Amino acid sequence: VDVEFAEALLVGGIGLRLPEAPFAPLPCTLDGDRLDEFEDTSFFDAPRAVICSWGGAGGLHAMLAPNLKTMLGTGIVETAIAAGAVLLDGGTKSGVMEMLGSGLRLHEPGTVRLIGVSPEGVVNVPATDQIPDTLPPHPHNADLEGHHTNSVLAPSDEWGGETSSMFALVKALQAHLPVVGVVSNG
The parent domain of residue 106 ranges over 47-125+141-184
CA-based torsion, 181, 5, 123, 105: positive or negative? positive
Q: In the prediction, which pLDDT does 147 show?
A: 85
CATH of the domain at 164: 3.40.50.450
Report the chain's terminal Cα–Cα distance, integer Å: 24
- Tell me what pLDDT residue 136 has: 58
Assigned domain for 166 exists? yes
Contact 114, 90 (CB under 8 A): no
Residue 16 belongs to a domain: no
Comparing C-alpha atoms, which of 116, 115, 134 is closest to residue 125?
A: 134
CA dihedral 26, 32, 36, 38 (to 10 degrees): 30
Total domains present in the chain:
1
pTM of the model: 0.73
Residue 48's CB is within 10 A of a number of other CB atoms, namely: 11
Task: Determine, yes or no, domain membership for 103.
Answer: yes
In sequence order, what DSSP letters do the residues of 113-158 get, joined into one string? -EEEEEEGGGEE----SSSTTPPPP-TTSEEBPTT-SEEEEES-SS
User: What pLDDT tens digit does each residue of the chain (186 aa) get?
Assistant: 444 555 444 433 333 333 333 444 433 333 333 333 333 444 345 678 999 999 888 888 888 889 999 998 899 999 999 998 999 999 999 999 999 999 988 888 778 888 888 888 888 876 554 454 555 566 678 888 888 888 888 888 899 888 888 888 888 788 778 999 999 886
pLDDT score at 46: 67
User: Per the domain annotation, does 155 fall within a domain?
Assistant: yes
Say what the pLDDT of residue 22 is.
40
Residue at 20 is within a domain: no
Q: Is residue 39 a contact partner of residue 18, using CB atoms and an 8 Å limit?
A: yes
Looking at residue 186, its pLDDT comes to 64
Q: Does any domain span residue 25?
A: no
Q: Tell whether 91 is covered by a domain.
A: yes
Residue 34 located in a structural domain:
no
